[in-house]
Amino acid sequence: MQVISTVIIALFVFSVILVPTVSAASTYMVDVITAYDEEFRSVAQNFYWYSPSTLIQILFNSGTSHFWDEFQISFQIVNYLFWDSNDAVTDYRGMLDEVISELGFTYNQRRILVAFTDQLSGAWGASDSLIGAVLVKHAYPDGVGQATDNIIQHEISHLYRAEHHWVDGLMCVMNVYPYWIDFPYYYHVPTALVTNYWCTDCINIISSNRNLWGYTITSGGVGGGGGGQNHPRGG
């Protein structure tokens, strides 16, 4: 028992060291239910040779680490659910409504739903900021590089009431102004897909709405918080 308690204490001390220099009381923890459809599962397995949950972890840690760095909001995945998306649904808002109803997801301040799909094209995601659910399109093979984490960051920002900009050259993940992607793609994507920054306005909005989701951690720390690496993005 002595050994076990020593290990526990050591782990505790280590986890406290990992927490950034914010007081524990100002840290928000948000539970996250994730869901993936058959198209996302197929891409995970056949394109990357990952299980769907492993691919979700990679994308999610990358997309949410910025919330930890900027706002001390930590998102922790509590579930990976399968969702059979209807191929006849042809718009992202319809798909989001479908997954909400198929899973029976309802509003609860403590948690949000993040659903992944690889169905459809022409849009990147959707959000329902009242119920706390977002839909994220897997965007790796669509000719925009590794952009799925941007979509996660963008859609979750909507849950904190951040809204779109239409401003040429503003490097904010909420800016949907077209951005020209050069070699090897040669087409426009929303600026949101090429940056992980928020502009000052968005930082202020999200900061003032931090209490919309999750719960505060009042003791014990969060063991490294959002974790994940900050993936620098090119172009």
Could you say which DSSP state residue 63 is in?
H
Cβ proximity to Zn ion: between 44 and 144 the closer is 144
User: Shortest approach of Zn ion to residue 133 CB, angstroms?
Assistant: 14
Residue 174 Cβ, how far from Zn ion at the closest point, in Å? 4
Residue 73 CB, shortest distance to Zn ion, in Å, is 17
CA 98 vs. chain centroid, Å, equals 19
Residues 6+ apart with CB under 8 A from 29: 74, 76, 214, 215, 216, 217, 222
User: Based on CB atoms, which residue is closest to Zn ion, 115 or 174?
Assistant: 174
**Residue 66 C-beta: closest distance to Zn ion, Å:** 13
In the complex with Zn ion, the residue whose CB is nearer, 19 or 124, is 124
Nearer to Zn ion, 29 or 96 (CB): 96
Binding residues for Zn ion, rule: CB under 5 A, are 172, 174, 199, 202
Instruction: Tell how strand 111-117 and strand 215-216 pair up.
Output: unpaired
**Nearest approach, Cβ of 145 to Zn ion (angstroms)?**
19
Residue closer to Zn ion (CB basis): 27 or 153:
153
Helix (H, G, I), strand (E, B) or coil at 214: coil
Closest CA to 19 of 230, 202, 225, 234: 225
* Distance in Å, CB of 206 to Zn ion, minimum: 9
State which residue, 96 or 202, has the beta carbon closest to Zn ion: 202
**How many other β-carbons are positioned within 10 Å of the β-carbon of residue 141?**
9
β-bridge pairing 73-82 and 28-36: parallel
Give CA angle at 211 (66, 101), nearest 5°. Answer: 85
- Sole residue written with tokens 């990679």: 58
